[in-house]
């Protein structure tokens, strides 16, 4: 069994906008939400390779609850400390923008 530790986990919110126009509302063609952080990324890869792993770390708030439920959905066992206050961070990423 391989234990991974992620002290600063994140939710990666990936947007795929068609354009990026300053001062206007920009819409995306699709969005994705992934669990992130080095230890979680390693546990995800190990799980895909059919290796037994346990993801560990610290989470907080509704974002931490989402992260835990997504790990469970992927079949990755976890043992995270849940904080009473604060939130697990969110990274916003914009992919596929054509810049001129």
What are the tens digits of pLDDT across the range 40-77?
999 999 999 999 999 999 999 999 999 999 999 999 99
Chain mean pLDDT for the chain: 93
pLDDT of 26 > 90? The answer is no
Q: Can you give the pLDDT at residue 97? A: 66
> Measured between alpha carbons, how far is 28 from 17 in angstroms, rounded to an integer?
4
Long-range own/partner contacts, residues 31-36 (CB < 8 A, 24 or more apart): 33/66, 33/70, 35/9, 35/10, 35/11, 35/67, 35/70, 35/71, 36/9, 36/10, 36/11, 36/12, 36/91
Spatial CA neighbour of 96 closest among 3, 8, 32: 32
- Number of domains comprising the chain: 1
In a domain, 100, yes or no: no
Q: Report residue 84 as tokens.
A: 């009473």
In a domain, 99, yes or no: no
pLDDT of 99 > 60? The answer is no
In a domain, 51, yes or no: yes
In a domain, 70, yes or no: yes
**Range of the structural domain that residue 25 is part of:** 2-94
In a domain, 41, yes or no: yes
Q: Can you give the pLDDT at residue 12? A: 95
In a domain, 63, yes or no: yes
> What CATH number does residue 64 fall under?
3.40.1190.30
pLDDT of 96 > 90? The answer is no
């Amino acid at each position: 069994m391989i234990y991974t530790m992620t002290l600063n986990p994140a939710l990666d919110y990936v947007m795929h906008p068609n354009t990026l126009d300053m001062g206007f509302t920009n819409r995306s063609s699709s969005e994705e939400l992934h669990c992130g952080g080095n230890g979680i990324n390693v546990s995800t890869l190990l799980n895909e390779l059919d290796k037994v792993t346990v993801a560990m770390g610290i989470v907080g708030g509704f974002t931490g609850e989402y992260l835990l439920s997504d790990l469970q959905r992927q079949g990755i066992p976890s043992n995270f400390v849940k904080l009473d206050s604060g939130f697990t961070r969110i990274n916003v990423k914009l992919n596929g923008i054509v810049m001129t």
